[in-house]
């Protein structure tokens, strides 16, 4: 039986479409069975006032042909495509080689010009797999799950529009509930700590630390600051507001949360499995993408004019 590979690409980018076809032909010629799909299947969609619930169950997002017999997948796109791809294939446990055809590419392993060498290494089995924590986000109404999504970065809950303060009652595991007054709250994984959580003042967390973090957005109290806690602790959020709120997952999909709803976040049994061509070096990524740890160069005390 021939080995099996998958290709997931951003069909809004002509270069990603072209490279996907090229590598589908190359892998087929090399004796591989190849299944391809776009990243669209992992985009869960936003709700609307007319239809506040719009989602597909987590396990139903796996594309046809992407199963546990698949050796690896190739992702062609930017960070959004990477997030969408793992939302689709994480339940099947498929490791992905992520290739940047976008801009920032914080979650991608290589740039497109390095793809031939990288694929040769992958086909030779010369790679490592790094597992990243994902979380399951659910909206529960009358003890029924009405919305759920697999999340690799963060869940954000805020008022619509984002113009006034909200009140949240938050339970972390068995601990006593806490009350937070803020524009919104973020529950983030270590991977998401360099995304919205970082912009909101949360700490950067290395991917191998088994924690989640809670970050209030523009809190109304100096005592409300980011909290890091074990990812074995589930989180329940109750919005103590008379109006509905908006929840967004990974900046990609969301739904309305009514006053009587409960948002439940817990570590997912599925993880994002990244193919690494060399030992993962998170500090290098921070330096290259975000400029962290660059040496300080003092300004000269005097300048000689010509």
Active site residues: 79
Ligand-binding annotation for 78, yes or no, is no
Ligand-binding annotation for 202, yes or no, is no
Ligand-binding annotation for 197, yes or no, is yes
Cα separations (Å) of 56 from 44, 45, 82, 223, 250?
A: 7, 9, 19, 38, 16
Ligand-binding annotation for 252, yes or no, is yes
Question: What is the SS3 assignment for 83?
Answer: helix
Ligand-binding annotation for 47, yes or no, is no
Cα separations (Å) of 122 from 71, 111, 177, 277?
A: 10, 15, 47, 8
> Is there a contact between 134 and 226 (Cβ–Cβ < 8 Å)?
no
Question: What is the SS3 assignment for 126?
Answer: coil
Within 13 Å, how many C-alpha atoms sit on residue 41's CB side? 19
The residue written with tokens 């791809």 in the block is 85
Question: What is the SS3 assignment for 59?
Answer: helix
Ligand-binding annotation for 206, yes or no, is no
Ligand-binding annotation for 288, yes or no, is no
> Is there a contact between 219 and 166 (Cβ–Cβ < 8 Å)?
no
Distant-in-sequence, close-in-space partners of 14: CB < 8 Å, separation ≥ 6 = none
The residue written with tokens 């999909």 in the block is 253
For residue 206, give both structure tokens.
Answer: 């290395």
Question: What is the SS3 assignment for 226?
Answer: coil
Q: Identify the CA nearest to 19 among candidates 112, 121, 118.
A: 112
Ligand-binding annotation for 195, yes or no, is yes
Q: Which helix (H) or strand (E) holds 211?
A: strand 211-217
Ligand-binding annotation for 196, yes or no, is yes
Q: Are strands 4-9 and 72-77 parallel, antiparallel or unpaired?
A: parallel
Ligand-binding annotation for 199, yes or no, is yes
Ligand-binding annotation for 256, yes or no, is no
E-strand spans in 122-200?
Answer: 128-141, 144-151, 154-159, 166-172, 178-182, 184-188
For residue 233, whether the previous peptide bond is cis, meaning omega lies within 30 degrees of 0, is no
Ligand-binding annotation for 291, yes or no, is no
Annotated binding site for NAD(+): 79-80, 153-154, 183, 194-199, 252
Annotated binding site: 79-80, 153-154, 183, 194-199, 252
């Amino acid at each position: 039986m021939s080995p099996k590979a998958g290709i997931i690409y951003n069909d809004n980018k002509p270069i990603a479409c072209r490279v996907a076809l090229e590598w589908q032909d190359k892998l087929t010629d090399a004796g591989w069975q190849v299944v391809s799909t776009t990243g669209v299947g992992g985009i869960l969609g936003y709700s609307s006032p007319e239809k506040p619930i719009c989602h597909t169950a987590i396990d139903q997002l796996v594309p046809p042909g992407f199963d546990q017999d698949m050796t690896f997948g190739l992702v062609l796109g930017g960070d959004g495509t990477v997030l969408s791809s793992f939302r689709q294939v994480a339940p099947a446990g498929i490791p992905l080689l992520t290739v940047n055809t976008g801009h920032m590419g914080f979650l991608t392993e290589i740039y497109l010009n390095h793809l031939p060498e990288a694929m040769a290494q992958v086909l030779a089995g010369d790679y490592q797999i790094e597992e990243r924590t994902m979380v399951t986000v659910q909206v529960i109404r009358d003890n029924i799950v009405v919305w759920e999504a697999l999340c690799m970065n963060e869940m954000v809950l805020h008022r619509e529009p984002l113009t006034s303060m909200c009140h949240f009652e938050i339970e972390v595991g068995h601990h006593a509930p806490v009350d937070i007054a803020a524009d919104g709250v973020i529950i983030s994984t270590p991977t998401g700590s360099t995304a919205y959580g970082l912009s909101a003042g949360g700490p950067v967390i290395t991917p191998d630390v088994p924690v989640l973090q809670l970050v209030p957005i523009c809190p109304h109290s100096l005592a409300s600051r980011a909290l890091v806690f074990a990812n074995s602790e589930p989180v329940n959020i109750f919005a103590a507001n008379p109006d509905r709120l908006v929840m967004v997952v990974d900046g990609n999909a969301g739904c309305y949360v009514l006053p009587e709803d409960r948002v439940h976040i817990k570590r997912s049994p599925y993880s994002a499995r990244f193919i690494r061509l060399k030992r993962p070096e998170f500090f290098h990524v921070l330096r290259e993408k975000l400029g962290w740890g660059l040496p300080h160069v003092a300004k000269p005390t005097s300048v000689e004019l010509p």
